[in-house]
Amino acid sequence: MRRREFIAGCCASAAWPLAGRAQQQGRTYRVGLLSGRSIGEGEERRKAIKEVLAAHDFVEGRNLVFGPRWGDSLSENVEALKAAKVDVIITFGYPAALAAKTSAKDVPIVCSGAGDPVATGLAQSLARPGGNLTGITELATELSAKRLEILKEAVPNLRTVAMLFNAADLGMTLRSRAAEAAAKVLDVSVLKLGVREPGDFGDAFDEMTRSRPDAILMVSDALTLLNRRRIMEFAANNRLPAIY
């Protein structure tokens, strides 16, 4: 199997569809996984990718080795993956994708969950990404705005919405801006609550307690999803409609 076919298989596994691939006998492939947080969700993603690749005879321990690197030291983790001579790096989130693109120019990169790759500068265009990065794009920027429209329909008296988003992630910031633009059209005020780490959620809840919104819109990414129970509990305890 040619290397580019293996990369395509990794891209398919990152997106979770199945694509038939053959492998080169006797070859062991090394897949680096890169995320900016030391989180259990990283292992969930690893499990999902492992299952998809196994369905195409890429089996961990036989002809496949994973190199997961979770944590905030993204540049150091990229260097570690390069030293391990991985065949491909699969990134989760915009910060990880940017770090890999910046520091691993000779390693194929498959990005996911990084928002709009063209708007964030990761790719030149969808048709011709350029460089050594490919992956999947998404409509989440438009969907964040659409979710606000749905929230307005569900809560006709909606005047102020609290918007929780990861302010440390450019992709999520772009989503929040799209929703903010939609809010102006809907005549809805936005209480922007950018969070950067789990400890920031308490401050966000305090702000919503002081300036009570009519509803909550959560821009979903690894950070907000991992804290979703806290957000849901706050919404339920304060009887606030919310959309995720």
Q: What per-residue confidence (pLDDT) applies to 140?
A: 61
Strands (E), 97-226: 109-112, 133-135, 160-166, 189-195, 215-218
Instruction: Quote the pTM value.
Output: 0.66
Which one-letter DSSP state was computed for residue 197?
Answer: S
Asked whether the predicted pLDDT for residue 225 surpasses 90, the reply is: no
Note the pLDDT tens digit of each residue in 25-84. 678 899 999 987 655 556 677 788 888 888 888 888 888 999 888 877 888 999 999 999
CA atoms within 13 A on the CB side of 75: 2
Q: Greater confidence, 20 or 39?
A: 39
Terminal Cα-to-Cα distance of the chain (whole angstroms): 41
Domains of the chain as residue ranges with CATH: 3-135 (3.40.50.2300), 140-243 (3.40.50.2300)
CA 185 to each of CA 1, 149, 190: distance values in angstroms, whole numbers, following the listed order: 52, 10, 12
Kindly report the average pLDDT of the chain as a whole number.
Answer: 83
Q: pLDDT grade, residue 17 (50/70/90)?
A: very low
- pLDDT for residue 30: 92
